[in-house]
Structure 1
Amino acid sequence: MAAATMPENLADALAAHGLMARGGFVFDDDEAAPAGPSGAAAGAVVLVGHAGSTIWPHFSRWLADQPANLADPLDCWSRETIGAIAGRFTARAVFPFEKPFLPFQRWAMRAEGLKPSPLGILIHPEYGLWHAYRGALLFETQVAEARPHALSHACDACAEKPCLFVCPADAVSSVRHDHAACLAHLRSGRGGACMGGGCLARLACPVGAGWRYDDAQQTFHMRTFAGAPVDR
Structure 2
Amino acid sequence: MAAIDPAALAAALDVHGLIARGCVDLDPAEAPVGIDGRPAACVLLVGHAGGAVWPHFSRWRGVRPSSLANPLDAWSREVLDGVAGQFGAKAVFPSDRPYLPFQQWAMRAEGLKPSPLGILMHPEYGLWHAYRGALLFGEPLAAVFAIHDDGARAPVHLCDACAAKPCLKACPVAAHSIESFDYAGCVDHVRSPGGGDCRSFGCLDRNACPFGAQHRYSAEQQAFHMAAFAGL
Fold agreement, TM-score > 0.5 = yes
Q: Deviations over 1:62-103 (max 9, x none)?
A: 001001110000000000001100000100000001211101
CA contact (8 A) 2:18 2:46 kept: yes
- Aligned residue for 1:154, secondary structure, equals coil
Alignment of 1:151-190 (within 5 A): 151-190=155-194
1:138 aligned residue: 136
Match in the other structure for 2:214: 210
Which amino acid counterpart does residue 159 of structure 2 have in structure 1?
Answer: C
Tell me which residue corresponds to 1:96: 94
Partner of 1:87: 85
Q: State the superposition RMSD in angstroms.
A: 1.5
Query: Structure 1's 34 and 194: CA in aligned 2 closer, same or farther, altered over 3 A?
Result: same
Please report the TM-score for the alignment, with normalisation by the length of structure 1: 0.92
Aligned to 1:12: 11
Q: Hey, what's the Cα distance between the residues in 2 that align with 1:67 and 1:112?
A: 36
The TM-score, its normalising length taken from structure 2, stands at: 0.92
Q: 1:107 is matched with which residue: 97, 105, 108?
A: 105
Q: How many residues align?
A: 223
**Cα gap change, 1:164 to 1:58, in 2 (>3 Å):** same
- Tell me by how many angstroms 1:143 deviates: 3.2
Unaligned runs of 5+ in 1: none
| 1:72 has 2:70 as partner | yes
8 Å CA contact 1:129–1:208 kept in 2: the answer is yes
From 219, 225, 229, the counterpart of 2:223: 219
Contact (CA 8 Å) 2:23, 2:141: kept in 1 or not?
no
Q: In 2, distance between residues paired with 1:71 and 1:214?
A: 22
Aligned to 1:45: 43
- In structure 2, C-alpha distance between the alignment counterparts of 1:63 and 1:83, rounded to whole Å: 17
Cα distance per residue 1:39-81 (max 9 Å; x no partner): 1110000000001110011000000100111000000000000
Shift of 1:120: 0.9
Structure 2 unaligned blocks of 5 or more: none
Structure 1 residue runs of 4+, over 4 Å off?
none
Query: Residue 178 of structure 1: CA displacement?
Result: 2.3
Aligned-partner residue type, residue 80 of structure 2 = I
1:28 is matched with 27
1:156-206 CA distance string (max 9 Å, x none): 011211111111121111222222221121123321111111111011000
Q: Is the 8 A contact 2:23 2:142 kept in 1?
A: no
Following superposition, the deviation at residue 8 of structure 1 comes to: 4.1
- Verify the 8 A CA contact 1:114 1:123 in the aligned structure 2: yes
Helix, strand or coil at the partner of 2:65? coil
| Structure 1 residue matching 2:30: 3-state secondary structure | coil
SS in 2 for 1:17: coil
Cα separation, partners in 2 of 1:144 and 1:163, compared to 1, 3 Å:
closer
